């Protein structure tokens, strides 16, 4: 919990910070935000990741100092693990042998850390880093603010998603007060992709179909599409949300081929349709309206299974609504 994290920071000096592979805005923004916070308190800290970071996040303060390593190769007093469902998500060897601090806002997260601070009411881990800064009596520097703001923007879809609360907006407002330029961050996040993203989007959107209810959309991305489009990691950000922008679509399944018979699946939904439950059924997790999983097997079969679950969930929510309206 938070008090343990505060105590640890006060008593230790050398910190590593890491996040999951294929890091998103919350993962990178929160890691860097925490790094700047620790440094402002006179601590030694660095962010380590096992793979590259998307171009959208390279303009963040400190992004150029992120160290790429596939194993723990330095002595840390503790390693913060940001936004990871389990200890293997960062894909860093010997991380499990460290004193780890698990910080996450996913309720499905395993309590794998030596210290676990999970707050499923936070819109983003970024919001938790802000709270940590306040709890420890730190000053929100411009660097911390920019990183944390990006984390908020990324996880709330620019304050569009249901996880946006009065607290989120209050934190955002505080960050703007200390010098964040919202337009500058949005520009960096949303207008900083490669042309390959557009080529890839065309190919992926070409595969989009709907189930028989017309309320569930599903789309695919093959390895070849990625290769020939020239897209880089992160260029497919938010593809899964495109079908959701149609009024009649209530749930989306986006399957990405990542290896031989191996897939990464993103699920999205609107309202009461709980895709976290469906993701958990297949070994994944996430939030009610945004979840994901990794899976191996026959593509057509898996897609059919997952889409069937989505169709069922959509129909169930509608039949409950019908019952309520007749009651």
Nearest residue (CB) to Mn ion, 129 versus 217 = 129
Report the nearest approach of Mn ion to the CB of residue 33 (Å). 12
Site for Mn ion in 236-295 (CB under 5 A): none
DSSP label of 124: S
Task: Lay out the sheet containing 251-259: strands in order across.
Answer: 209-210, 216-221, 251-259, 262-269, 290-296, 285-286
Report the nearest approach of Mn ion to the CB of residue 114 (Å). 21
Whose CB is nearest to Mn ion? 26
Q: Is 235 in the site for Mn ion (CB under 5 A)?
A: no
Nearest residue (CB) to Mn ion, 107 versus 186 = 107
Rounded distance between C-alpha atoms, residue 15 and residue 78, angstroms: 5
Which residue in 247, 320, 282, 270 sits closest to 108, CA to CA? 282
Q: State both tokens at 230.
A: 């020239």
Site for Mn ion in 14-33 (CB under 5 A): 26
Task: Lay out the sheet containing 67-68: strands in order across.
Answer: 67-68, 44-49, 14-19, 78-82, 100-104, 115-118
Report the nearest approach of Mn ion to the CB of residue 97 (Å). 26
Nearest residue (CB) to Mn ion, 83 versus 235 = 83
Report the nearest approach of Mn ion to the CB of residue 27 (Å). 7
Nearest residue (CB) to Mn ion, 89 versus 226 = 89
Tell me the site size for Mn ion, rule CB under 5 A. 4
Rounded distance between C-alpha atoms, residue 193 and residue 172, angstroms: 24
Q: Are 163 and 125 in contact (CB under 8 A)?
A: no
Q: Are 214 and 179 in contact (CB under 8 A)?
A: no
Report the nearest approach of Mn ion to the CB of residue 199 (Å). 28
Q: How many CA atoms lie within 13 Å of 131's alpha carbon, on the beta-carbon side?
A: 20
Report the nearest approach of Mn ion to the CB of residue 320 (Å). 29
Q: Which one of 91-99, 124-132, 180-188, 224-232 is the stretch in contact with Mn ion (CB under 5 A)? A: 124-132
Nearest residue (CB) to Mn ion, 25 versus 303 = 25
Among 155, 211, 235, 303, binds Mn ion (CB under 5 A): 155
Q: 235: which residues sit within 8 A by CB, 6+ positions away?
A: 54, 193, 194, 196, 197, 200, 229
Report the nearest approach of Mn ion to the CB of residue 130 (Å). 13
Nearest residue (CB) to Mn ion, 185 versus 201 = 185
Site for Mn ion in 48-107 (CB under 5 A): 83
Nearest residue (CB) to Mn ion, 26 versus 250 = 26
Q: State both tokens at 213.
A: 């209810």
Residues lying near Mn ion in the complex (CB under 5 A) are found at: 26, 83, 124, 155
């Amino acid at each position: 919990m938070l008090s343990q994290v505060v105590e640890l920071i006060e008593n230790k000096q050398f910190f590593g910070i890491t996040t999951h592979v294929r890091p998103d805005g919350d993962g990178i923004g929160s890691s860097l935000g925490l790094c700047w916070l620790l440094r402002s308190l006179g601590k030694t800290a660095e962010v380590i990741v096992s793979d590259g970071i998307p171009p959208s996040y390279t303009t963040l303060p400190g992004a150029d100092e992120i160290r790429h390593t596939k194993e723990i190769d330095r002595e840390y007093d503790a390693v913060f693990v940001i936004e990871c469902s389990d200890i293997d998500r960062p894909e860093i060897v010997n991380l499990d042998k460290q004193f780890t601090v698990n910080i996450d806002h996913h309720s499905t997260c395993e309590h794998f850390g030596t210290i676990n601070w999970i707050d499923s009411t936070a819109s983003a881990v970024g919001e938790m880093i802000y709270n940590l800064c306040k709890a420890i009596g730190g000053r929100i520097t411009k660097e911390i603010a920019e990183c944390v703001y990006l984390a908020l923007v990324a996880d709330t879809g620019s304050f569009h998603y249901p996880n946006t609360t009065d607290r989120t907006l209050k934190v955002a407002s505080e960050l703007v007060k200390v010098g964040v330029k919202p337009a500058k961050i949005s520009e960096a996040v949303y207008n900083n992709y490669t042309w390959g993203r557009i080529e890839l989007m065309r190919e992926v959107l070409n595969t989009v179909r709907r189930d028989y209810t017309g309320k569930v959309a599903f789309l695919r991305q093959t390895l070849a599409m990625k290769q020939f489009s020239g897209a880089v990691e992160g260029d497919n950000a938010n593809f899964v949300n495109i079908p959701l922008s149609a009024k009649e679509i209530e749930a989306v399944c986006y399957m990405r081929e990542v290896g031989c018979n191996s897939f990464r699946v993103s699920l999205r939904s609107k309202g009461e349709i709980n895709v976290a439950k469906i993701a958990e059924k297949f070994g994944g997790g996430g939030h009610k309206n945004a979840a994901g999983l990794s899976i191996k097997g026959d593509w057509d079969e898996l897609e059919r299974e997952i889409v069937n679950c989505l169709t069922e969930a959509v129909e169930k929510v509608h039949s409950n609504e019908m019952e309520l309206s007749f009651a």
